[in-house]
Amino acid sequence: MADLTPQQRVSFERFKVWKHRPKSKATASVPSPQEVFAEMMKATFGPLLRDQGLRGSGGRFELPSDDYWALLGFQKSAYSDGQEVQFTVNLSAIRRDVWAERAAASPALGERPKPTVVYGSWATQTRLGLITPEGSDKWWPIVRGVDPGPVAEDVVSDLLKYGLPWLREQITKRR
Protein backbone atom coordinates (compact mmCIF):
# COMPACT_ATOMS: atom_id res chain seq x y z
CA MET A 1 0.00 0.00 0.00
CA ALA A 2 3.04 2.25 0.33
CA ASP A 3 3.23 2.51 -3.49
CA LEU A 4 -0.17 4.21 -3.79
CA THR A 5 -0.49 7.83 -4.79
CA PRO A 6 -2.58 10.06 -2.50
CA GLN A 7 -5.46 9.86 -4.97
CA GLN A 8 -5.26 6.06 -5.12
CA ARG A 9 -5.11 5.90 -1.32
CA VAL A 10 -8.34 7.96 -1.07
CA SER A 11 -10.05 5.65 -3.57
CA PHE A 12 -8.82 2.58 -1.70
CA GLU A 13 -10.08 3.92 1.64
CA ARG A 14 -13.46 4.73 0.08
CA PHE A 15 -13.66 1.20 -1.30
CA LYS A 16 -12.81 -0.31 2.12
CA VAL A 17 -15.59 1.69 3.79
CA TRP A 18 -18.05 0.61 1.10
CA LYS A 19 -16.98 -3.04 1.18
CA HIS A 20 -17.31 -3.32 4.96
CA ARG A 21 -20.47 -1.23 5.36
CA PRO A 22 -23.32 -2.62 7.49
CA LYS A 23 -25.67 -4.66 5.35
CA SER A 24 -29.31 -5.24 6.13
CA LYS A 25 -31.62 -7.91 4.80
CA ALA A 26 -33.98 -6.60 2.14
CA THR A 27 -37.68 -7.05 2.57
CA ALA A 28 -39.45 -8.77 -0.30
CA SER A 29 -42.21 -6.16 -0.43
CA VAL A 30 -39.85 -3.26 -1.17
CA PRO A 31 -38.37 -3.23 -4.70
CA SER A 32 -34.60 -3.13 -4.91
CA PRO A 33 -32.92 0.07 -6.08
CA GLN A 34 -31.83 -1.80 -9.23
CA GLU A 35 -35.46 -2.70 -9.96
CA VAL A 36 -36.53 0.91 -9.38
CA PHE A 37 -33.77 2.17 -11.68
CA ALA A 38 -34.76 -0.31 -14.41
CA GLU A 39 -38.40 0.76 -14.13
CA MET A 40 -37.46 4.48 -14.26
CA MET A 41 -35.42 3.77 -17.40
CA LYS A 42 -38.27 1.83 -19.01
CA ALA A 43 -41.20 4.04 -17.98
CA THR A 44 -39.70 7.53 -17.69
CA PHE A 45 -36.27 8.16 -19.21
CA GLY A 46 -36.51 5.95 -22.31
CA PRO A 47 -39.90 7.28 -23.46
CA LEU A 48 -38.85 10.88 -22.74
CA LEU A 49 -35.65 10.57 -24.78
CA ARG A 50 -37.38 8.79 -27.66
CA ASP A 51 -40.07 11.53 -27.67
CA GLN A 52 -37.20 14.02 -28.02
CA GLY A 53 -35.91 12.26 -31.14
CA LEU A 54 -33.25 9.99 -29.67
CA ARG A 55 -32.99 6.30 -30.46
CA GLY A 56 -31.97 3.64 -28.01
CA SER A 57 -32.76 1.76 -24.83
CA GLY A 58 -31.13 0.21 -21.83
CA GLY A 59 -29.44 3.43 -20.77
CA ARG A 60 -27.74 4.16 -24.14
CA PHE A 61 -29.27 6.65 -26.55
CA GLU A 62 -28.21 8.36 -29.77
CA LEU A 63 -29.40 11.60 -31.34
CA PRO A 64 -29.37 10.87 -35.09
CA SER A 65 -26.79 12.89 -37.03
CA ASP A 66 -24.92 12.32 -40.29
CA ASP A 67 -21.79 14.05 -39.01
CA TYR A 68 -21.65 13.18 -35.30
CA TRP A 69 -22.01 10.37 -32.85
CA ALA A 70 -24.28 12.26 -30.42
CA LEU A 71 -24.67 9.95 -27.44
CA LEU A 72 -26.32 10.00 -24.05
CA GLY A 73 -25.63 7.24 -21.55
CA PHE A 74 -26.72 6.46 -18.02
CA GLN A 75 -23.94 5.14 -15.79
CA LYS A 76 -24.50 3.38 -12.47
CA SER A 77 -21.88 3.70 -9.76
CA ALA A 78 -19.63 0.75 -9.01
CA TYR A 79 -20.48 1.37 -5.35
CA SER A 80 -24.18 0.61 -5.84
CA ASP A 81 -25.62 -2.23 -3.78
CA GLY A 82 -28.92 -3.73 -2.61
CA GLN A 83 -29.74 -0.63 -0.58
CA GLU A 84 -28.76 2.16 -2.97
CA VAL A 85 -27.99 2.78 -6.63
CA GLN A 86 -26.31 5.98 -7.70
CA PHE A 87 -26.24 7.03 -11.33
CA THR A 88 -25.13 9.87 -13.56
CA VAL A 89 -25.64 10.82 -17.21
CA ASN A 90 -22.77 11.06 -19.72
CA LEU A 91 -22.96 13.05 -22.96
CA SER A 92 -20.70 12.66 -26.00
CA ALA A 93 -20.51 14.38 -29.37
CA ILE A 94 -17.80 12.84 -31.52
CA ARG A 95 -17.37 13.64 -35.19
CA ARG A 96 -17.88 10.50 -37.24
CA ASP A 97 -14.87 11.16 -39.44
CA VAL A 98 -12.65 11.65 -36.38
CA TRP A 99 -14.01 8.45 -34.85
CA ALA A 100 -13.38 6.50 -38.05
CA GLU A 101 -9.79 7.78 -38.17
CA ARG A 102 -9.13 6.95 -34.51
CA ALA A 103 -10.81 3.54 -34.75
CA ALA A 104 -8.75 2.68 -37.85
CA ALA A 105 -5.59 3.48 -35.89
CA SER A 106 -6.84 1.66 -32.75
CA PRO A 107 -9.22 -1.16 -33.71
CA ALA A 108 -9.87 -1.88 -30.03
CA LEU A 109 -12.04 1.25 -29.99
CA GLY A 110 -14.67 -0.64 -31.93
CA GLU A 111 -17.17 0.32 -34.57
CA ARG A 112 -18.93 2.99 -32.53
CA PRO A 113 -18.20 4.99 -29.38
CA LYS A 114 -19.79 4.27 -26.03
CA PRO A 115 -21.29 7.18 -24.09
CA THR A 116 -19.81 6.06 -20.76
CA VAL A 117 -16.18 5.81 -21.96
CA VAL A 118 -13.90 8.86 -21.82
CA TYR A 119 -11.82 8.95 -25.00
CA GLY A 120 -9.62 12.01 -24.70
CA SER A 121 -9.32 15.59 -25.90
CA TRP A 122 -10.33 14.67 -29.45
CA ALA A 123 -13.84 13.74 -28.25
CA THR A 124 -16.29 16.31 -26.88
CA GLN A 125 -17.68 14.75 -23.71
CA THR A 126 -19.19 15.87 -20.43
CA ARG A 127 -21.42 14.80 -17.59
CA LEU A 128 -24.88 16.27 -17.25
CA GLY A 129 -24.20 17.83 -13.85
CA LEU A 130 -21.21 19.74 -15.21
CA ILE A 131 -23.37 21.70 -17.67
CA THR A 132 -26.02 22.68 -15.11
CA PRO A 133 -25.72 26.03 -13.30
CA GLU A 134 -24.13 24.22 -10.33
CA GLY A 135 -21.35 23.05 -12.65
CA SER A 136 -20.41 19.98 -10.60
CA ASP A 137 -20.54 16.25 -11.18
CA LYS A 138 -23.96 15.00 -10.20
CA TRP A 139 -24.90 11.49 -9.09
CA TRP A 140 -28.55 10.77 -8.33
CA PRO A 141 -29.33 8.25 -5.56
CA ILE A 142 -32.11 5.68 -5.56
CA VAL A 143 -32.44 4.40 -2.01
CA ARG A 144 -34.44 1.32 -1.04
CA GLY A 145 -37.82 2.35 0.33
CA VAL A 146 -37.43 6.06 -0.53
CA ASP A 147 -39.77 7.66 -3.09
CA PRO A 148 -37.79 7.91 -6.36
CA GLY A 149 -40.17 10.53 -7.80
CA PRO A 150 -38.07 13.59 -6.90
CA VAL A 151 -34.97 11.93 -8.40
CA ALA A 152 -36.80 11.19 -11.66
CA GLU A 153 -38.16 14.75 -11.80
CA ASP A 154 -34.70 16.25 -11.28
CA VAL A 155 -33.12 14.05 -13.94
CA VAL A 156 -35.90 14.83 -16.44
CA SER A 157 -35.57 18.54 -15.72
CA ASP A 158 -31.79 18.50 -16.21
CA LEU A 159 -32.09 16.43 -19.39
CA LEU A 160 -34.63 18.80 -20.93
CA LYS A 161 -33.02 22.07 -19.79
CA TYR A 162 -29.34 21.24 -20.24
CA GLY A 163 -28.49 17.80 -21.62
CA LEU A 164 -30.52 17.65 -24.81
CA PRO A 165 -29.81 21.29 -25.74
CA TRP A 166 -26.09 20.62 -25.22
CA LEU A 167 -26.20 17.58 -27.53
CA ARG A 168 -28.14 19.48 -30.19
CA GLU A 169 -25.74 22.41 -29.99
CA GLN A 170 -22.74 20.11 -30.46
CA ILE A 171 -24.08 18.55 -33.66
CA THR A 172 -25.02 21.87 -35.23
CA LYS A 173 -21.55 23.40 -34.80
CA ARG A 174 -19.66 24.10 -37.99
CA ARG A 175 -17.10 21.50 -38.90
Cβ-Cβ contacts under 8 Å for 120 (sequence gap 6 or more): none
Which pLDDT score, from 0 to 100, does residue 164 have? 97
Instruction: Give Cα 159 distance to the centre of its chain.
Output: 11
**137, part of any domain:** yes
What is the reported pTM? Answer: 0.81
State the pLDDT at residue 175.
Answer: 52
Within-domain flag for 128: yes
DSSP 43: I
The dihedrals phi and psi of 53, each to the nearest 5 degrees, come to: 100, 0
Asked if residue 12 is part of any domain, the answer here is no
- Residue type, position 133, single letter: P
- Tell whether 125 is covered by a domain: yes
Residue 95 in domain: yes
- Asked, for residue 5, whether it belongs to a domain, the answer is no
Q: pLDDT tens track of the chain, all 175 residues? A: 567 777 767 776 776 676 677 765 655 688 999 999 999 999 999 999 999 999 999 899 999 999 999 999 999 999 989 899 999 999 999 999 999 999 999 999 999 999 999 999 999 999 999 999 999 999 999 999 999 999 999 999 999 999 999 999 999 975 5
CB atoms within 10 A of CB 156: 16
Structurally, the chain folds into a number of domains equal to 1
Residue at 86 is within a domain? yes
d(CA 54, CA 64): 7
Residue 27's pLDDT is what? 54
Q: Which domain holds residue 56?
A: 31-172
Closest CA to 149 of 74, 39, 59: 39
- Is 133 domain-assigned? yes
What per-residue confidence (pLDDT) applies to 131?
A: 97
From CA 161, how far away is CA 167, in angstroms rounded? 11
- What pLDDT score does 160 carry? 97
Residue 151: what pLDDT? 96
3-class secondary structure, 39: helix
